Amino acid sequence: MLGSELDAAGVQGRELRQAYQRCRALNAAHGKTFFLATRLLAPGQRPAVHALYGFARRADDVLDGFDDRTTAEREDELRQLSDALHSRLVENRMAGDDPVLDAVVDTARHYGLPWQLFEDFLASMRMDLTISDYPDRAALDRYVYGSAEVIGLQLLPILGTVVPTAEAAPHAAALGKAFQLTNFLRDIDEDLTRGRVYLPADELAAHGVDREVLYWCQRNRRTDARLRAALIEQHAITRDIYRQAELGIPMLRPQSRPCIRAALTLYSEILDRIEEIDFEVFTQRATVSNGRRLQVAARGLGAAWRARIRQAA
């Protein structure tokens, strides 16, 4: 199956094909919901999406691996990753042996993805090394733009649009942002263990919540009334961003819509699960069941096949 995807994408050369295979394996292993949605794309679109995921995963592993690397060592790893990508993509120079970079550079050149989107992404990754709190929504938005919105913007040329790209871009960015904010709500416990809080401090403070309250909730494995009120507010904000993102789906090429619809549905249902557990995010992780994933995927697969048949006709 992968060989046919690479053929459809026009990927030639044994080493480059192996590079894309490596990225696909990373996506399958770590991005289960995202990987499932990717299966709804046309075969020729999938390798590029895997390449972007593989690169994002490389940067994320530098930041979040639970090991004894120091902040300086992680910073140096990110710098090396950035320098290697810049050398290849901008300066057209090979820099080391890295199959993930081989694939993402090939994708960037094929779809005309500018270096600035990758630089903005890496800038947010560097923020994670030294910033553990965000005082207000504007500060968090600056981080989320690089960590998530640019991913939506990178995917847009791969997905294709039936309107000018600039018209669809805000909705693509909103989708990445909605996914990221959903992660922040679901993963409060895990992020707090890493010493990070990805919720605006002033909006938490309006409900009487600070780090001391968050750590109390974590230690006692319960969400107190103050934090619940704050999370309800954050939940509503995230819902609104999903609505903005959903407006962009009809702007995509028909064969891309089932994939994005499925991803939006499954990720937004994580918000449903958070609400269903009454925001007790310290006792369980809100997830969508495998059965529900398969149900959404099956519906999307039918829609994807119909879109491809119409396109062929």
CATH number at residue 186: 1.10.600.10
150 in the same domain as 96: no
Roughly what angle, to the nearest 10 degrees, separates helices 2-9 and 46-64? 110
Smallest Cα–Cα separation from 232: which of 281, 193, 269? 281
189 in the same domain as 254: yes
pTM: 0.92
111 in the same domain as 231: no
136 in the same domain as 210: yes
Q: What pLDDT is attached to residue 69?
A: 85
> Could you list the pLDDT tens digit for every one of the 313 residues in the chain?
567 899 999 999 999 999 999 999 988 888 777 788 888 899 999 999 999 999 999 898 888 766 788 889 999 999 999 999 999 999 988 766 889 999 999 999 999 999 999 999 999 999 999 999 999 999 999 999 999 999 999 999 999 999 999 999 999 999 999 999 999 999 999 999 999 999 999 999 999 999 999 999 999 999 999 999 999 999 999 999 999 999 999 999 999 999 999 999 999 999 999 999 999 999 999 998 888 888 887 787 776 667 666 666 5
Rounded to 5°, the CA angle 41-44-50 comes to 70
Smallest Cα–Cα separation from 81: which of 58, 102, 103? 58
289 in the same domain as 140: yes
Q: Considering 129, 152, 174, which residue would you say is the last residue of a domain?
A: 129
Q: Give the other-Cβ count within 10 Å of 311's Cβ.
A: 11
Q: What pLDDT is attached to residue 34?
A: 79
Q: Considering 77, 100, 129, which residue would you say is the last residue of a domain?
A: 129
Q: What pLDDT is attached to residue 95?
A: 65
Element (H, E) at 143: helix 137-144
Element (H, E) at 230: helix 225-246
Chain-centroid distance of CA 47 in Å reads: 16
Q: How many domains does the chain have?
A: 2
101 in the same domain as 212: no
Smallest Cα–Cα separation from 40: which of 290, 256, 311? 256
Q: Considering 96, 111, 129, which residue would you say is the last residue of a domain?
A: 129
Tokens for 80, please give them: 């090396």
96 in the same domain as 243: no
**Structural domain boundaries enclosing 199:** 131-312
What are the beta bridge partners of residue 252? 161
Q: Rounded CA gap, 221 and 223, in Å?
A: 7
218 in the same domain as 246: yes
125 in the same domain as 166: no
123 in the same domain as 163: no
215 in the same domain as 178: yes
Q: What pLDDT is attached to residue 312?
A: 61
Residue 190: phi, psi to the nearest 5?
-65, -45
Q: Rounded CA gap, 205 and 227, in Å?
A: 10
240 in the same domain as 150: yes
